[in-house]
Amino acid sequence: LAKTTQPISMDSYEGQEVNITCSHNNIATNDYITWYQQFPSQGPRFIIQGYKTKVTNEVASLFIPADRKSSTLSLPRVSLSDTAVYYCLVGFNVGYSTLTFGKGTMLLVSP
Amino acid sequence: DAGVIQSPRHEVTEMGQEVTLRCKPISGHDYLFWYRQTMMRGLELLIYFNNNVPIDDSGMPEDRFSAKMPNASFSTLKIQPSEPRDSAVYFCASRMAVHYNEQFFGPGTRLTVL
């Protein structure tokens, strides 16, 4: 499994755009990049997944450069409710795929 | 759909007692996962099932832990005997076969072993 490295914590203010970058230098050709969000006292929640270039949904955008050795989760105009831990995961997109969670990035949004 | 359902939400027990955690996955999901989360070790995969069959239990810490999935709508994780170091939040998650990395997690069971 490709190892991922992301900042332990980040601080932001309401209304700002937040970009969380994850490094995965040994990503394999078949690996996908997946991000999860975990609020306090809740289970993780799938946010977004991508393979290359850019993916956007109603929650976030995921930017993946051509070499795929890193990825950036972009949260537009964060609010207090976006305070959570964000996990970057890399792995196969196959039937027996499992998730390996690292420490994640603790995002704290202040008023 | 109600999502993944876990019970109980909180469990406090004494060392040596048997603990049974329960999970109802989302209907139609083929895979079921059990995780444990602690501050020290983070979120760890304990075991997962595909179509009710255990596929990989290499994450189960020791023989005191066992998991079953008697049918597609129910799974249990049992700890016997429980120890204080088993205190953690236990999550159950499920997913469809074709949504490889999109798991749906339950609210978790917070277990405290005194």
Contact (CB<8Å) A43/B97? no
Q: Does the pLDDT of residue B110 top 80, yes or no?
A: yes
Q: Does the pLDDT of residue A93 top 80, yes or no?
A: no
Interface test with B, best of A4, A48, A97 (most B CBs within 10 A): A97
Strands of the B65-71 sheet, one edge to the other: B5-7, B19-24, B74-79, B65-71
Find chain B residues with C-beta within 8 A of A106's C-beta: none
Task: Identify the pLDDT of residue B18.
Answer: 97
Among chain A, residues having any CB pair with chain B shorter than 8 Å are 32, 34, 41-46, 49, 87, 89, 91-104
Of A95, A100, A101, the CB nearest to B97: A95
Task: Identify the pLDDT of residue B1.
Answer: 64
Contact (CB<8Å) A94/B45? no
**What is the pLDDT averaged over residues B57-61?**
92
Question: Could you report the per-residue pLDDT of B20-56, keeping only the tens digit for each?
Answer: 999 999 999 999 999 999 999 999 999 999 999 999 9
Q: Does the pLDDT of residue A76 top 80, yes or no?
A: yes
Instruction: Tell me whether strands A31-38 and A45-50 are parallel, antiparallel or unpaired.
Output: antiparallel
Q: Does the pLDDT of residue A86 top 90, yes or no?
A: yes
Sequence-separated (6 or more) residues with CB below 8 Å from residue A41? B108
Find chain A residues with C-beta within 8 A of B48's C-beta: 98
Mean pLDDT of chain A: 92
CB pairs under 8 A between A and B: 55
Find chain B residues with C-beta within 8 A of A103's C-beta: 42
Q: Does the pLDDT of residue A2 top 70, yes or no?
A: no
Task: Classify residue A6 by its DSSP letter.
Answer: -
Residue B110 Cα distances to B47, B55, B84, B87, angstroms: 18, 25, 13, 8
**What is the pLDDT averaged over residues B10-15?**
97
Which residue of chain B comes nearest to A101, CA vs CA?
A: B43
DSSP letters for chain B: ----EEE-SEEEE-TT--EEEEEEPPTT--EEEEEEEETTTEEEEEEEEETTEEEE-TT--STTEEEEEEETTEEEEEESS--GGG-EEEEEEEE-TT-TT--EE---EEEEE-
Which residues on adjacent β-strands are paired with residue B91? B35
Instruction: Tell me whether strands B104-105 and B88-95 are parallel, antiparallel or unpaired.
Output: antiparallel
